[in-house]
Structure 1
Amino acid sequence: MDANLELYRVFREVARHSSFSAAARELYVSQSAVSQAIGNLEKSLHTTLFVRGAKGVKLTGDGKLLYDYTESALSMLEKGEEMLEERAKLLAGEVKIAAADTISKHFLLPYLQKFNGGHPSIRIQVVNRTSMQSIALLKSGAVDFAFVNLPIKEEGIATVKCMDVHDIFVGGRKYKHLSPYPMAPSELIKYPLIMLEGISNSRKYVDRYFMEYGILLEPEIELGSHDLLLEFAKIGLGISCVVKEFSKEYLEREEVFQIPLETPIERRSMGLSFLKNVPMSAAAEAFYKTVVSGE
């Protein structure tokens, strides 16, 4: 296509008004500029688009054909420009997030509530995945952010730490008698253990702790939900490894009791990951600021 987009804008206005002078007023240009633009377009397309008459101009057959396509194409472009402007002003747009259900419930929810309150027109999409699955979605471009258990070392991924957490062991009333006395890892594994599935970063972190003592964990029960870890411990099925910060209500209500280790598991972190060197949309940037800066 040799003709530039502005020539088609001029063509549309002339066709709408059946007048060069009216089109010129609409476009805030001179009538001669409109005439020159139409002449250049006709030359480029090797056809005549208008028939000039005493009462103005009328579209030729080729002109009518071109006008239908021009009107549709320019309307789509203008709609796209409007949508981009709305996104820039945070009047539209979306933020896509991947996060494990535990992080979603115990960390992410307050930020989602705050962001939605300040930007109700922005659509929020959250998918529940493990940390590594969330990172895979991020790298594929399917989501803007991944909330993950750290550490994460992936090329092209930047991560901001959001909070520290502590892995602890808890039991229900059946195991309350163990709570006053710190226990060696070799003693703890004599009891039925309830752990997260081995694919989770959280579980791998705890596995590494026990490997330092030469212990390969073989839990009686493996689950995919942190809440179920607490519920299973509560009814006495075994001793669960949970996140202390996400178990406060159970501990405060004495539904479960912490069973301390002689050497506590070192704290770990949770963070917000995003693609390096990829500009964020206005909506994504606003969400990032809500989480990281508290804005």
Structure 2
Amino acid sequence: MAGKLDLYNVFCTVGKCKSFSKAAKELFMTQPAVSQAIRQLEKELDTRLFNRTPKGVTLTNEGSILFEYIYSAINLIDVAEEKILEFKNLTTGELKVGVGDTISRYYLLPYLEAFHNQYPNIKLKIENGTTFELCSLLKSGEVDIAVCNFPIDDPALELKACLHVHDTFVCGEKYKSLLSKPLSLQELITQPLIFFERKSNSRRYVEDYMLSKGINISPEFELGSHDLLLEFAKINLGIACVTKEFSLDYLNKGLLYEVKLKEEIPKREIGVCFLKSVPLSPASTKFVEIIENKQ
């Protein structure tokens, strides 16, 4: 097919120029080579495509029909190549990012802004979900990359850690008496606890850590939003397990207080993940670079 495509390109050029010699100049070929290409195509199609005259050539009826289709097809190929070039140069296209609400609000927004400022013609599509849901979206091709809570144990995914975060417990005025000394985990669970819902990856991480210490938790409230965790703690409904780095506004303003533990929960990471088996698009590559360069 590639060889015939070359013949069709010669055919279209001759059809436009109505001359073998003019077509040869445009194609940077010799006139005999152009003539030979047309003869070969006519032989393969078993059809005469041009009427040869001393003043040049004209298309036969069959040649006119073929020219109409082939000219359109070659133009479409040119347009397709231009579009590929635009995608490579990031002057058009789409970037689909999967991210949870909390990470989107407290971490990702500056990177989305920086990417949009650099590549305003790239359409951004944001899909929200839990870490488990985002990994599923990656595997189904519904998002290009996902920014989510680690750890993730999935051999199909490439992981790039971007930010260390710390899980901690916070409380409102009612529980300030607990702040006089660090608490043990056993002492902590005697209080009403506020946690993310079970499907949250950050909830599983903290719960697994506490289970490793022989501590089972039975939260008073299980919520789907980090902001709600903070607000429930602020109105003294219990002690909330939150991400410290995303709670600094409440802590710095004195709206909430950090409950110190005798054993701090080990830090974890937030990062970017994508499929190992699929090369990143130019837009995805640039977005990951922006995140890595701003660390």
Interval containing the TM-score (normalised by the shorter chain): over 0.9
* Structure 1 residue 189 corresponds to structure 2 residue 189: yes
Compute the TM-score of the two structures, normalised by the length of structure 1.
0.92
In the other structure, the counterpart of 1:209 is 209
Measured after TM superposition, the shift of residue 202 of structure 1 is 0.2
1:244-291 CA distance string (max 9 Å, x none): 000000111111111222212111111211222533222222222111
Tell me, yes or no, if the aligned pair for 1:2 and 1:44 is still in contact at 8 Å: no
**For the residues of structure 1 that align with 2:45 and 2:231, how far apart are their CA atoms?**
74
In the alignment, what sits opposite 2:20? Answer: 20
**After the TM superposition, which residues 162-173 of structure 1 pair with which residues of structure 2 at under 5 Å, given as runs?**
162-173=162-173
Task: Give runs of aligned pairs for residues 252-271 of structure 1, distance below 5 A.
Answer: 252-271=252-271
Map 1:1-295 → 2, pairs under 5 A: 4-276=4-276, 278-294=278-294
Answer yes or no: is the 8 Å Cα contact 1:3–1:44 preserved in 2.
Answer: no
Which digits, 9 at most, give the CA deviation of each residue in 1:59-91, with x for residues without a partner?
222222212221221111111111112222232
Question: Which range moved further: 194-203 or 140-149?
Answer: 140-149
Q: Cα RMSD between the aligned structures?
A: 2.0
What amino acid is aligned across from residue 67 of structure 2 in structure 1? Y
Give distance in 2, aligned partners of 1:290 and 1:94. Answer: 16
Quote how far apart the aligned CAs of 1:120 are: 2.1
CA distance in 1, matches of 2:3, 2:168: 69
CA contact (8 A) 1:3 1:41 kept: no
1 CA distance for matches of 2:150 and 2:241?
Answer: 17
> For 2:107 and 2:286, how far apart are their aligned partners in 1?
18
Determine helix, strand or coil for the equivalent of 1:124.
strand
> Percent identity between the aligned chains?
47
Q: Secondary structure at the match of 1:137?
A: helix
CA offset digits 1:115-156 (Å, max 9, x no partner): 222222222222112112212222333322221211112113
AA in 2 matched with 1:290: I
Deviation at 1:23, TM superposition (A): 1.8
Q: Over residues 6-60 of structure 1, what are the superposed CA-to-partner deviations in whole Å (9 max), with x where a residue is unaligned?
A: 1111111122222222222222222222211111111111111122234432222
Shift of 1:227: 1.2
Give the Cα separation in 2 of the matches to 1:250 and 1:153: 32
The offset of 1:114, in angstroms, is 1.6
Q: Following TM superposition, by how much is the alpha carbon of 1:2 offset from its aligned partner in structure 2, in angstroms?
A: 8.6
Displacement of 1:3: 5.2
The separation in 2 between residues aligned to 1:14 and 1:119, in whole angstroms, is 41
Stretches of 4+ aligned residues off by more than 4 angstroms: none
Distance 1:108 1:220 in 2: 30
Letter in 2 for 1:227: D
Task: Please tell me the residue identity of whatever aligns with 1:90.
Answer: L
Deviations 1:88-109 (A, max 9, x none): 2232333222111111111111
Q: Which amino acid letter does the alignment assign opposite residue 82 of structure 1?
A: E
Q: Closer, same or farther in 2 for the Cα pair 1:159/1:2, shift >3 Å?
A: closer
Matched letter for residue 212 of structure 1: S
Shift of 1:168: 0.9
Structure 1 unmatched ranges of 5 or more: none
Aligned residues: 295
What SS does the aligned partner of 1:90 have?
A: coil
Give the 3-state SS of the residue equivalent to 1:284 in structure 2.
helix
